[in-house]
Amino acid sequence: MTQSTQSPAVDETLRAGLARMQRLLGSRRIFASMTGAAGADVTQQGVDILAVLADGAARPIGEVARLARLDGGAVSRQLNRLEADGYVQRDGAGRGSVVLVHATRRGRALVSKVEAVRAHQLQRALAGWTGDEQAELGRLLVRLADDLQAAPYVPAP
């Protein structure tokens, strides 16, 4: 008798839970509520860009796009808005024709506020969880994220 090389079917509770998490994490309404609590009016892409620049280092725009996992065009559009709002500053004196961008003090403060609101929300959501439960969830989420990144999409059988 040969063993099947197929993985077992994904548990329906897991599938449903992941679908709910995906909707929560991708919800513009929820994101707007979170940034509103932080006193900010910035898009999710804008916050992702500011998070990349939060250390204050000047980076080429292409590197910002790569680190934020965003399309270069989307990053350019977001940078225009972030610059107009005083959250980032471009430095044309980069390496040759490369334009560098960095977060201003205002931009770094905004990222800190958003991260504080996120942390507070998570703390409140996990208030009834034990430290061991939180650690186990964290371990499993990191494992799942690593496995998902390592598994390329292929056509379903």
Q: Which CATH number covers residue 129? A: 1.10.10.10
What is the tally of structural domains in the chain?
1
The pLDDT of residue 88 is: 97
The pLDDT of residue 22 is: 92
Flag whether 96 is in a domain: yes
| Residue-averaged pLDDT of the chain | 91
Flag whether 46 is in a domain: yes
The pLDDT of residue 67 is: 96
Domain span including residue 57:
30-149
The pLDDT of residue 96 is: 64
Q: Which of 109-146 are b and which e, b meaning 16 or more Cβ less than 10 Å from the residue's Cβ?
A: bbbeebeebeeeeeeeeeeeeeeeeeeeeeeeeeeeee
Selection from 17, 14, 37 nearest residue 118 by Cα: 37
Tokens 């403060």, located at residue: 109
Flag whether 15 is in a domain: no
pLDDT tens per residue across span 96-125: 678 899 999 999 999 999 999 999 999 999
pLDDT tens per residue across span 25-68: 889 999 999 999 999 889 999 999 999 999 999 999 999 999 99
pLDDT tens per residue across span 59-94: 999 999 999 999 999 999 999 999 999 999 998 765
The mean per-residue pLDDT over the stretch 11-21 comes to 92
Entry field: residues in the chain: 157
Flag whether 62 is in a domain: yes
Q: What gap in Å lies between CA 148 and CA 65, rounded to an integer?
A: 21
Flag whether 64 is in a domain: yes
Flag whether 6 is in a domain: no
Rounded percentage of the chain residues whose pLDDT exceeds 70? 93
Coil/strand/helix, residue 148: helix
In sequence order, the β-bridge partners of residue 100 are 60, 91
Flag whether 51 is in a domain: yes
SS3 content of the chain, % helix, strand, coil (to 5): 60, 5, 30
- pLDDT band, residue 6 (cuts 50/70/90): low
Flag whether 12 is in a domain: no
